Amino acid sequence: MSISRVGRPPDEGRGGRGSRRFLPSSSDKPPVHKAVRGAKLATIPVAFAGRRAAGLGKRALGRSAEEVNRDIQLRTAQHMFEVLGELKGCAAKLGQLLAIYELALPPDLAAPYRAALSLLQDSAPTMLPRTVHLAMAESMGAGWRSEFLEFDDRRAAAASLGQVHRGVWHDGTPVAVKVMYPGGRAAVAADLEHLRRISYLAGVFLPGADVKSVIEAICVCISAELDYPAEAEFQQRFVDAYAGDPDIHVPRVVEVRGDVLITEWVSGTPLSHVIEWGTKTERDRVGMLMIRFITSAWGRHGLLYADPHPGNFRILPDGRLGVFDFGACSTWPPDDSFEQLGIDCCEAIFGGGPADLEAAIRRYGFVEPGRPIDCAALLAAVTPIGEPLHQPTFRLSNRWLRKQVLRTTNPTLTNVFREVTMPAYFTPFARSLLTLVGVLCQLETEGAFLEEVRRWLPTYAEAISPRGGRPTDTNAGDAPIDLGAARRRRDAGRTAR
């Protein structure tokens, strides 16, 4: 259940009156006809090609290539966010994944982009009661109302691919009823097909990535979010994992039938309110609770929560962190190879040298085979990203994150990040980590981040702060991965807890 505020005035929040500059269309009816939606998406690559052609003329008139590329980036991002905002649904979900791009914008433009992106979910169209009733009957049968003591026809909250209603189940349990938009499945399939066709545009933001594979992985994740029975199964696994937890609450699953998911209703303060108006103490505490949830799910329960954006969290009256929307979850890989990936990369970055880093990134597919790479420059470039784990305490901020994003997305040929890629299998984990860091920076969370990692992921903490480092092996890229060592470290950490 992806919770968001309903009816927020367009000018409210940090974007101010200037936020109208990049707001999506005010219409509450997204285009549903395949041809109309396709035509809107098709305008993005056409406009992009036009900007590139115009850029050649600007360079001929004396403007630098870097300045022209920067202008193309800004205009393309603006156009993409506007179109995605109009289409909503699946396209809006992709817009959420692109939200980190606004951090690379100059401060005078960042606030309007932030306002526009926050409205991608809030502006989802509202189903009228008659449509809601038809959707409920299709999944639960004509007598669906007899299952409830109460059912509110008005939308209580928006979800990116549906909407949420408040009700009371037949046993007296207050419930949240998530209903998928009628025709939403077909619209999402069409959107994904068009997004695959324009996937090369992501190279504007991530020039070195294996864009096609990464976009395909994102499409698979979005498609999976249409499977409400699978979402219910993951949510129940999280319910069982955090039963009785003093810090985390996951609402239990009551019922799932077709495209209707019914869960326990949970009231609380939206995380967006804490970001906007919370005190420093409140924001620090909530940020650390989010880290605790993500890392403990990884380390203790072998579960990945891949969508930690603000709309999926509320602060309960008793102070616990309420977590919603489990459509983008997965289990940890069944073997230890992924954990070993993290260990090897952390050891190379925090305690090794360029040769160690090259061995690690080549072993796990972060650079194309045979492609040369300046790993000394790469090590120097990634070291500042680990700064929060170098200090006893550290304060994250949008300003800090903006520096990291600008460093990695710099379009100049000297940017070493252009030489690396991201393997498709890493996409859900990157989505989880980047979204989490983005929210922590919005909260301006200050805390002992390494200590929280050490509590739940001790083998990673050991790799981040190695005792005396390790020898450099220039042939390590061809060495077999020692999965047994990773398993022993992991098991020792869990026994200690």
**98 and 139 in one domain?**
no
Residue 214 within any structural domain of the chain: no
pLDDT digits (tens, 9 = 90+) for 175-195: 999 998 887 777 777 777 766
Q: Does 195 reside within a domain?
A: no
Query: Domain boundary at 302, 331, 360, which?
Result: 331
Contacts of 285 (CB under 8 A, 6+ apart): none
My answer on whether 358 and 454 are in the same domain is yes
Residues 317 and 406 in one domain: no
Same domain, 56 and 103: yes
Instruction: Please indicate, yes or no, if residue 220 is contained in any of the structural domains.
Output: no
Share of the chain above pLDDT 70, in %: 63
* Token output for 203: 């190279």
Are 290 and 439 contacting, i.e. CB atoms less than 8 angstroms apart?
A: yes
Q: Are residues 427 and 485 in the same domain?
A: yes
Residue 196 lies in a domain: no
Instruction: Tell whether 366 and 423 lie within a shared domain.
Output: yes
- Residue 218 belongs to some domain of the structure: no
* Residues 257 and 394 reside in one and the same domain: no
Using CA atoms, how far apart are residues 142 and 58, in angstroms rounded to an integer? 63
> Taking the complete model, does pTM exceed 0.75, yes or no?
no
Nearest to 405 by CA among 186, 104, 64: 104
Q: Which helix (H) or strand (E) holds 260?
A: strand 260-264
pLDDT of residue 207: 54
Q: For the chain, give the number of residues.
A: 497
Q: Which two tokens stand for residue 232?
A: 């219910």
Provide the residue range defining the domain that includes 111. 17-123
Residue 145, domain member (yes or no): yes
Are 462 and 436 contained in the same domain?
yes
What total number of domains does the chain contain? Answer: 3
Angle at 11 between CA 9 and CA 16, to 5 degrees: 150
| Residue 467 belongs to a domain | yes
What is the torsional sign of CA 79, 81, 85, 88? positive
Check which CATH number belongs to the domain holding 242 and give it.
1.10.510.10
Q: pLDDT tens for residues 420-477? A: 887 878 878 888 888 899 899 999 999 999 999 999 999 888 888 754 443 333 333 3
Q: Are residues 449 and 477 in the same domain?
A: yes
466 close to 349: Cβ distance less than 8 angstroms? no
- 372 in the Ramachandran plot: left (φ > 0), alpha (ψ -120 to 50) or beta? beta
C-beta of residue 456 within 8 angstroms of C-beta of residue 296: yes
Are 40 and 96 contained in the same domain? Answer: yes
Inter-residue contact 456 to 292 (CB < 8 Å): yes
pLDDT for res 35: 42
User: Do residue 301 and residue 438 come from a single domain?
Assistant: no
Domain stop point among 123, 143, 168: 123
The parts of the chain modelled with pLDDT lower than 50 are: 1-53, 55-61, 85-86, 88, 104, 108-109, 112, 116, 119-123, 467-490, 493-497
Q: Is residue 470 part of a domain?
A: yes
Condensed to tens digits (0 to 9), the pLDDT of residues 248-263 reads: 999 999 999 999 999 9
**Contact between 88 and 125 (Cβ < 8 Å):** yes
Q: Are residues 106 and 245 in the same domain?
A: no
